[in-house]
Structure 1
C-alpha cells in the first residue's frame, strides 16, 4: 500500500507538535426553526403551480438521455417516446409519496449526527470553485493542500454541519483520479457528514465504496451517511452522467439532491411563476426516478437559482426574484412532503467587498425564511462561484451562526428572571452588574467575533483593520490550532489501499476522465 502523497497516517495525539486546541469547536446541532415561514402563495396558487408542472410532465415531457433510465421508466409504466419521457401525474404522485419526509444524517463521529427534514436545517459549505482567494487574499488555482485547509476550517467552524466535498478544485492532481483524494480529504480532516462526488457514475460508485469502508455496507442500507447532487440541464433534460450517479447513490440508499440548474430568463421563462413551474416539473421528474431506482430511498428536492442580467447575460446573486422563487419552492416541497435544498450566501462580487456582503445577507435571510432544509454553498461563494474566498468562508460561517440564532426564535426560559431584574433595577439604573445580566450576557445577544463594533477611535488605535484582514487573521489562527479528528487506523489504511488500487486502475490522463 502506497499513497504517500496523501500524507502519513495519524499516530495519535502524542505525535502532534501543535498546541492543543482550546477553542470550542463543538458543532451546533441541526437548526430547528421556530420562526414563521414566508409563504407568499395561497392554496389556489400552489395548486396552479402543481397543475402547470404536471401538465409539463404529461404534455411536454422530460428528456432522459440515458438508456438505462429509459428502460426503467418503461418498466414503471411511463410513456417513453425516444428519449422523451411523458410522466402521468398520478405515477409521479405515487412515486414521490415514498420519499422520506425526514431522516438522520450519520457522521463518523456520532456526536455530529443530524436530524434532517421537516423543521430542521443544516449549513453546508460551498463546492466546485475553480479558483480560491487564499490566506493572502490572492486569487489563484487551488491545490489538495488548499482543499484540506477548507475541510479543516469546516471541521472547526461550529455553524457548518458538513465538510462537503470539492470546496475548491485541486489542480495538482489528475481530474480522473481527483474524486478519490477529495473524498479522502473530506473524511480525514473532519468527522462531520460530507458530500460525495457525482462527476461520473463510476466516480459516484467509488465514493459509495469508500463510504462502505468507513461505515460498513450493511449500515448504509438503513442509514444516510453521504449526500450526492445531480444537476439538470434546464430546460427539461437529465443526462447520462447525472442519472448514472443518481443510481449509484439511490441503490445504496443514500440521499441525492435533484437540482435543476436555473438561470432565470436564459433557461427558464423570464418570469418568476412560470420559471418555478418549469423548475418544479424538472425536480419532480428526478425525484420520481430515485423511487423507480429504489422505493423509499432518501431524496431531496433541489435547485440552483440564479437570474440572468438582461444587459450582459451574466448570472446574478441576491436579487429579489431569487428570494421569491425560494419562498415558492419551499411551499411546493412542503406540499409534496419532501425535504428541500437551497443555496446560501451567494455573491457575484470579485472580491470580499460590500456587494458580496449585501448579496450574501439577502440570500441567507431568504433561505431561512423559506424553510430550506439542506442549505448548501453556505460559506465562501463569490464571483458567481468561480472562487472560494478564505476570508469570506469564515465570515459566512459567522453569518450562518447569526442566522441560526435568529431562526431559533424567541427564548422565554428566563422571562420571569428578566422581569424581576426590571423590578430590582428600577427607574434610572442600569443592568450591567445585575445577576440576570451576568448569568445571561454570553447568550442574550449574539456577539460577532469578526465584525468590529468599537468606537472609531479604538478601531484606529488598533490599526484600522478591515473585515478581510480580520477574517484572514482568524482563518490563520484556526488552521494553526487545528487538531485532526481521530480516524480508526484500520479504516484509514483500508481507504488508502482502495485509493492506491483505483489510481493504478484509472488512467491519469485528464482526457480520459469521462470514461470513469
Structure 2
C-alpha cells in the first residue's frame, strides 16, 4: 500500500449525514431523459430512402382502408383519391401533411415539476397497460380490481424512473367495461401528479377523457398544452377502423397527442421479412400521422407501433428476438427521417412468471430501444406473459432497470473529471480508492447501485433468508406502498371530477361488453 496519505478534505455533514442520505428514500421523479449516446443506425441513407419509397408506393398504389365515413369525407376534402373505403395517398400530400407535426413538444403534468419534453433527444418511460390479469403482492395470478389499478398508479408515482402512470395498467374487473374508462382516468389523476394516458376504447370514451382533462387543467390550457396521450392501434395490414379514428379525432381536435400505432405481428400480419415488415408498418403509421394533420394542422402526434414476431411453431407472439431489435433500430431511423417523435414498447416478456426468460427478454428490449433513440418508451414496467398479466415484482424491477438504462443513456459524466484525476497521485501505485475523500463524496452518484439485485456473498445471502429476486421485489413493493403519500387534488377539482363521473355513470348503461352506440 502506498505511504502517500490523501490530503484532508471537508466532508459535508460528516458520517451520520452520509448514512442518512443512504437510507432516506427519494421518490422524486427523474427529469425526462435527454439521451447523450449515439443512435444505432443499421441502415445507410440508401436503405432509408428505399424503405420510404416502398412505403409511399404502398400508399399510392395499394392504399389503406379507413373504415369510417367521417375520415373518408375528410380525406376527399384533403385531395386524396378515395375508392369505397380505400384511400390512396399521394406521396406529395403525405409529405406536406406530416411536416406540420411538431418534432418536439412538452407534456404538462398536474405538478409542473413533473413536466417532460418529448422528441429529438428527449425520452420518457411509461408503464405497461392493458393486462387482464395481475401477479399480485403475493405473486398470485388473478383478475385485477380497481384497488389493484390504484396500487400500480401509486407505485408509478413513487418509482423515479417512471414518468407517467399510463392508464389501465390492469383491467378493473369490479367495474362495468362501459364505465371503466372514467374510474381508470380518475385513478391516474388522483394517485399521482405525473402525466398520464387517456383511454381510446371508443370515441365517446375518448371524449369523456378529454372532458375530465379539461376539468383538471382548464379547457383553454388543454387547447394549447399536451397533458395526456391517446393510443390508436391500426389493424395490420393496412386498416384503420371507426373506433380508433373516432378516438383519434376526439384527442387531436383538442390538441392532444396520439400514438399512431400499427399492431405488428411479424410473419402473421406483415411479410416474413424484416425490411418488408418495416416498409408496411411505415406506410400504416404515415397514413395515420397524415390524418392527424387533416383533423388539426400542427397538432402533436407520435409515430407509433407495437412490435412482436410470431413463433412459426405455435403462432404465439414472441418478445426479445433479434428481429424486434432490428426493426426498432430501423423505425427509429425512419422517424428521424420524417422528423417526428416515435413510440416503442419496452421490457416485454413472454414468460409466465418473473423468471430468467422474462429478464433476458426485457433486458434485450430495453437496451435496443434506448440505442434506437425511442422517445415514448411504453410498456416499461410489468409486462409479462405476452401482456396477459402485469407482475408487481417485475414492475418494480423493470422500473429500476429503466433507472439503470436512464443513467447509461445520459452518457459519461465529465463534470468532475479533473477532480477525480487528482485522486490518482493521492493513492499511487498499489493503493485503493475506497477510503479516498473523492470516493466517499461521490460513490452514490458515480456508479449505479441496484437496490433489488443482490451482490453480496452467498454466505450473507443465505443468512438473510436466501431471497430470490421475486421475493425481494415483492417485499420492496410492499415497503413502497407503506410509505405512499397521496398528492392531493384541489378540493374543487376533485369534486368536479367525481360529479362528472357520477353523471356519466348514470348516462352510460352498465354493460359488460363495450357498446359503441351508447
TM-score by length of 1: 0.96
Residues 295-351 of structure 1 show CA distances to partners (whole Å, capped at 9, x for unaligned) of 000000000000000011000000000000000000000000000000000000000
2-side partners of 1:240 and 1:116: how far apart?
Answer: 28
* Residue 376 of structure 1, aligned match among 375, 378, 385: 378
For residues 495 and 183 of structure 2, what CA distance do their matches in structure 1 show? 14
Q: Offset of 1:417 from its aligned partner?
A: 1.2
Could you tell me which residue of structure 2 aligns to residue 140 of structure 1?
A: 142
Counterpart position of 2:69:
67
- Pairwise CA distance, 1:503: 0.2
Bigger Cα displacement from structure 2, 339-348 vs 428-437: 428-437
Partner of 1:245: 247
1:444-483 map, 5 Å: 444-483=446-485
Matched residues in 2 for 1:170 and 1:184: separation?
Answer: 13
* Other-structure match for 2:153: 151
Looking at structure 1, the residues matched to 177 and 467 of structure 2 have their Cα atoms a distance apart, in angstroms, of: 39
After TM superposition, the runs of 4+ consecutive aligned structure 1 residues lying more than 6 A away are none
Q: Return the offset for 1:513.
A: 2.8
Say if 1:342 and 1:372, in contact at 8 Å, map to a contact too. yes
In structure 1, the residue matched to 2:60 is 58
2:363 is aligned, of 361, 378, 392, to 361
What is the CA-CA distance between 1:512 and the residue it aligns to?
5.2
Give the structure 2 partner of residue 176 of structure 1: 178
> In the TM superposition, what is the alpha-carbon distance from 1:23 to its structure 2 partner?
2.3
What do you get for the CA RMSD once the two structures are aligned? 0.8
Structure 2: unaligned runs, 5 residues or longer: 1-22
The aligned residue for residue 420 of structure 1 is 422
Per-residue CA deviations over 1:73-117 (Å, capped at 9, x if unaligned) read: 000000000000000000000000000000000000000000111
Q: Which residue of 2 aligns with 1:120?
A: 122
The correspondence of residues 81-230 of structure 1 with structure 2, limited to 5 A, is 81-230=83-232
* Matched-pair contact (CA < 8 Å) for 1:33–1:119: yes
Report what 2:264 is aligned to.
262
Q: Is the 8 A contact 1:175 1:513 kept in 2?
A: no
Task: Output the CA distance in 2 between the equivalents of 1:387 and 1:397.
Answer: 16
Give matches, 1:437-448, under 5 Å.
Answer: 437-448=439-450
Q: Which residue of 2 is the match for residue 36 of structure 1? A: 38
Aligned partner of 2:392 in structure 1 is 390
Question: Which of 275, 278, 300 does residue 277 from structure 2 map onto?
Answer: 275
Any stretches of 5+ residues in structure 1 without a counterpart? Answer: 1-20
> 2: distance between equivalents of 1:198 and 1:469?
35
Distance, in Å, in 2 between the alignment partners of 1:437 and 1:219 is 47
Deviations 1:22-60 (A, max 9, x none): 621000000000001100100000000000000000000
What residue number does 2:312 align with? 310
Contact persistence 1:105–1:223 (CA under 8 A): yes
- 1:506 corresponds to which residue? 508
Partner of 2:344: 342
Aligned partners of 1:224, 1:167: CA distance in 2, in Å? 21
Tell me how far 1:510 sits from its aligned partner: 2.0
- How many positions carry a matched residue from both structures? 496
